[in-house]
Amino acid sequence: MRWHQVLRSAFAWTTGIVATVGFTLLGLFVTVLPGGRNLQHRLAGQWGRVCIWSSGCPVRIEGLERIDLASRFVVMVNHQSALDIPLLIGAMPAEWQTVFWAKESLFRMPVLGWAMRILGHMPIDRVNRRNAGRMLQESSERVAGQRSVLVFPEETYSREPGLLPFQRGGFVLALKTGLPILPVGITGTREALPPGCRLVTPTTLRVRFGDPIPTAGLGVSSRQTLSDRTREMIEELAGA
């Protein structure tokens, strides 16, 4: 029923706004506490789960039990919808203290942008690619601080099924740091909240973790091979 979808969507967007404000204020408070960074990421995970819960979408997480939570990764995921970020933040272990690359416009949004900066997430300047070297350097420094990095190798999502071409930045980061790439496939978010749509359709969302792809000892010449292998694994995990 259309009215039911409108009510569900209004509830989801309202809950998301309230949760963003509330968890951001809590995040600011815990910065002064011992272990504040870890607490911030636990709060972020709870924020993601609240947002997805309010959408009415059940979540299935597969393969995480095989992953060593003490390790750190460059996590690479297919991108389908605005729901991907809260879904992933809620699904990934807080121990990884994961930071991600996101489009610069999100960082200019009140409250949400502040929360993203507090957690150490990094803006992608898609217009001025000369800033890519600085972003890679900042990412390497944060990885050295025992964090994982989440990258959408497509950088954006399309309205059509299938994967867009992969960009090179995440693979350069993985090769530079020697961190393994962790391929992850998402399904359901495009159906639940299509690009450009504001109405939520409750749909089962799945996050499937694959096997890590080692990068230690590989040179830049391996980038394309690494990209092709990662793409193949994400396509399999996402059923793309």
pTM strictly above 0.85: yes
Strands 181-187 and 59-62: unpaired
Q: d(Cα 38, Cα 26) in Å, to the nearest integer?
A: 13
pLDDT in tens, 112-168: 676 777 666 777 665 555 555 666 666 666 665 678 889 899 888 877 778 999 988
- Point out which residues pair with 100 in neighbouring strands: 150
pLDDT score recorded for residue 73: 92
pLDDT in tens, 75-90: 999 999 989 999 999 9
pLDDT in tens, 37-79: 778 888 889 999 999 999 999 999 999 999 988 889 999 999 9
Q: d(Cα 56, Cα 53) in Å, to the nearest integer?
A: 5
The one-letter code for the residue type at 102 is: A
Residue 26: Cβ within 10 Å count: 14
pLDDT score recorded for residue 134: 64
pLDDT score recorded for residue 8: 87
The pairs formed by 218-225 with CB atoms below 8 angstroms and a separation of 24 or more are 218/175, 219/175, 220/172, 220/175, 222/175, 223/168, 223/171, 223/172, 223/175
